[in-house]
Amino acid sequence: MKILIAGAGPAGSLLACYLARRGHHVAVHERRADPRLGDDEEGRSINLGLSARGVRALTDVGLMHEIWPSTVPMRGRAVHAPDGNVTFHPYGRREEEILHSVRRRDLVVSLIAHAEAQGVAFHFGHRVVDLDKDAPALTVEHDGRRTTVAADAVVGADGAFSAVRALMHRGLRADLHQEFLPWGYKELTIPKVPAHHEALHVWPGGDDGLIVTHPNLDGSMTATLFLPFERFAEIDDPEAFFAERFPDALPLMPDLVKEYADRPVGHLVSIRTTPWHDGGKVVLIGDAAHAVYPFYGQGMNSALEDCTVLDRCLGLGEPGAAFAEFERARRPHTDVLDELSRQNFVELRDRVRSPLHHARRRADLVLSGLFPDRWVPLYTMISHTTTPYADALARARRQDALLRWSALGAAGLAALVLARKVR
């Protein structure tokens, strides 16, 4: 088959590797410039945290061994209190239960090189302007000239504001739920961290803001400042703001004033949509089908996992049935991920400083240590396994119910013993 992919991000480039491995002729059209020519995304993209799903997908195409040298392990969260005290909370009990920080550009460059080595053609600076769903064919614009390219199938991997999705949905009874979080973000730089380099650093500020950082190979960290969107324009003295809200972060950011002025404010958007496909001619993957807020660190991982699932579906039969099975098998789980990502925003912003929250996390870790095959924390299932998202949430809810009933039973038994002693 001749297959056109719109979008050369992580999902589009990885899918190109899968499809080329199956012997298909693949061409990828990307509206941005070739990332190998320069880092034009500085200040506009959140660093990525590879977890088990992404690692599995990259391993499947034989690329993970090339990615490892570009990653930094994140073994847990380093949570900063207002008084400057830092507490470290490991992600899991096992050595392999960690995340891996990687720059988006480094990942994409490796994927493009791997795909090109398998014969995939990449066309940068090509913006999708039209889609013929029946042919199918894409019309792309490059240097002011438009060209129509025919194929056997078209894949929309062109992000949350997907042109392919909008064009595919024309004339269909399609649903699209697009929601912007009332918060935005700016990327800042911490040149050197005094301690806990192999960690995700978190400065929870409640309604006043949130900072999350990812480590880089050079010992620096990429810090992402999240604030209610209108607050960015209201802050005219970022140093004074940090001194009040995040006092121990301020000395770590010598270029704060310049970066705050120069870096753009990013949007945070969630997308749920249906359908994901139109017959055997067009299909959506990644953010084009299910963008989520970044607070569970699963947006990129779920997009990479899409490629694994779609590749498996394509092995079952012709494209029409494969695309339908892909949406049927995948969409319930990405809908659950959307809910989990929203909930984790509240956790990072508010709950990570709560003693009750830490007690619950510790109980999860203790129980998983005592009963490793029977008790698995939700975060472990989401980040350190490939358990489908909805299945993980269902199991976590059963475990929570069991924990509540056990607590009630213990309380009831204690009350009964006390009553007998009183008599």
pLDDT tens track for 106-142 = 999 999 999 999 999 999 999 999 999 999 999 999 9
Calculate the alpha carbon distances from 51 to 34, 269, 324 in Å.
Answer: 26, 22, 27
What lies within 8 Å, CB to CB, of 201 at 6+ separation is: 77, 78, 80, 193, 211, 212, 213, 221, 223
Query: What pLDDT score was predicted for residue 362?
Result: 66
Question: What pLDDT, on a 0 to 100 scale, did the predictor assign at position 413?
Answer: 41
Indicate the helix (H) or strand (E) that contains 88. strand 86-90
In the predicted model, what is the mean pLDDT of the chain? Answer: 89
- Is the confidence at residue 155, as pLDDT, over 90? yes
According to DSSP H, which parts of 175-318 are helical? 229-234, 238-245, 256-262, 287-290, 299-314
Phi-psi region of 150 (alpha: psi -120 to 50; beta: other; left: phi over 0): beta
Q: pLDDT for 265-306, tens place per residue?
A: 999 999 999 999 999 999 999 999 999 999 999 999 999 999
Which pLDDT belongs to residue 116? Answer: 98
Mean pLDDT of 381-387: 94
Q: What is the pTM of this model?
A: 0.90
What is the per-residue pLDDT across 1-46, written as a single tens digit (0 to 9) for each?
999 999 999 999 999 999 999 999 999 999 999 999 976 555 455 6
pLDDT at 369 over 90: no
d(CA 107, CA 128): 24
Banded model confidence at residue 415, pLDDT cuts 50, 70, 90: very low
